[in-house]
Amino acid sequence: MQSKLLDWFESQGRHDLPWRNTTNIYHIYLSEIMLQQTQVNRVMDEYYPRFLEKFPSLEELANASESEVLAAWSGLGYYSRARNLQKTATLTYKQFPNDIKELLKLPGIGKYTASAICAFGYQQSVIVVDTNIKRVLRRLFALEDNEKLIDTKALDLLNRKNPREHNLALMDLGAMVCTPKNPKCSLCPFEKECLGKDDIEAFSTSKKIRYEKLDLFLGVCIKNNKIALVKSSSNMYKNMLVLPEVDPIEDELIASFKHAYTKYNITVYLYEKEIIENELIWIELNDIKYQAVASLTTKAIGKLKI
C-alpha cells in the first residue's frame, strides 16, 4: 500500500507548490499557517510570495510592526494567525524548534501544524492528519470519527523511510481523489483495499457549521478622496482598520451585502455620513491595499460607486 501510494504521488501529486520545493523551515511554517483557512491557489499565487517578499526571514518578521504584518496579511482573514506568526517569530528567529513538544508551546501552533513542520520541514517519521488525510483514512479503513483510532491507523500505515512524501501523498489523495463529495474512486491507488468505498457518506468527516446571524451598520464618510476608518477593538478584527459603526438611518442607506466570517453570517448595511463622531483615521482610497484593512471593509469599499 505504501508503494502504491508513492507511485501515485510521483505521477499525480502537486509537486509545483513552492513550499514543497524548499528546505527553509520558515517558508514551510508560513505556508502551513496560511493554508489553515485559505485555498491553496490563493496562497500560492497571492499571499505566500507577497508575504515573503515583505518579510523574507523570521528575524525581519519579528522586527516588523504589528500594523505592517496585518497589512501584509490583509485579505487572508483570521488575523490572529498573523499576530501569532509574529509572536512566534520573536521567540524563534535565532533557532526554530525541531521537536513537536517544543513547537506546541509556541503561539498559534497546534497538533497538526507541529506535526506538519516536523514531517515536511525536518522529514521526521511522524503522522500528519489534516481534514483530507482524516477522510482518506476513515474511508480506507471504515473508521469511526475517533481521533485515537484514526491516529493509530495513520501510524500503522506510515512509511517510515519516506514520511514526508507519504504524508504529502495522503494529503493530495484527499484533496484530489478522495474528495468530500463525488470521490473519484476509480483513480484511487487504494480502490481494491478501501473498506468504505460502498458507503462513503458514512465515513466522511465534514461537519455542518452552525452560523450565527449578525447585522452590522457601518458609516461611509469620504472627503477629498479619503475615507474615514477606525481601529477595531473587537476580537473579530482586532487592531485592523474598519468602517465605523453608526446608528442606522433609513434615508442614508446606500448599499448592503452578505459576508461570512468564521461562525458568523453577517449582513452589512452601509450608510452615507457627512459627519461621524469617532476617533477617525483618514486613509487615501488609492492606499487602501497597503493598509491593515479588514477584508470586510475592503469588500464594503468595493460596493461603493467611487
pLDDT in tens, 33-59: 999 878 899 999 999 999 999 999 999
**Taking the CB of residue 213, how many other CB atoms lie within 10 A of it?**
8
Q: What is the pTM of this model?
A: 0.80
Q: Alpha-carbon distance 171 to 135, whole Å?
A: 10
Length of the chain (residues): 306
Strand ranges inside the chain, DSSP E: 212-220, 222-223, 226-231, 241-242, 253-261, 264-272, 281-284
Structural domains of the chain, ranges and CATH numbers in brackets? 2-203 (1.10.340.30), 212-302 (3.90.79.10)
* Integer angstrom CA distances of residue 302 from 74, 171, 257, 288, 296: 15, 36, 11, 11, 10
pLDDT for position 142? 94
Q: Alpha-carbon distance 291 to 14, whole Å?
A: 33
Query: All 3 cell numbers of residue 267?
Result: 449582513
How confident is the model at residue 15, as a pLDDT?
Answer: 96
pLDDT of residue 275: 85
State which residues of the chain have pLDDT below 50.
none
* Predicted local distance difference test score (pLDDT) of residue 205: 65
User: CA nearest 75: which of 45, 105, 95?
Assistant: 45
Please say whether the beta carbons of 242 and 216 come within 8 A: no
The pLDDT assigned to 245 comes to: 92
Q: What is the DSSP string of 54-77?
A: H--SHHHHHHS-HHHHHHHHTTS-
With cell 508551546, the residue in question is: 105
Q: What's the rounded Cα separation, in Å, for the pair 197 and 177?
A: 12
pLDDT at 44: 94
Question: 241, 232 in Cβ contact below 8 A?
Answer: yes
Place of cell 469588500: 299
Catalytic residues: 32
Q: What is the pLDDT of residue 207?
A: 62
Which SS3 state, helix, strand or coil, does residue 26 take?
helix
**Per-residue pLDDT tens over the stretch 164-202:** 999 999 999 999 999 998 999 999 999 999 999 888 888
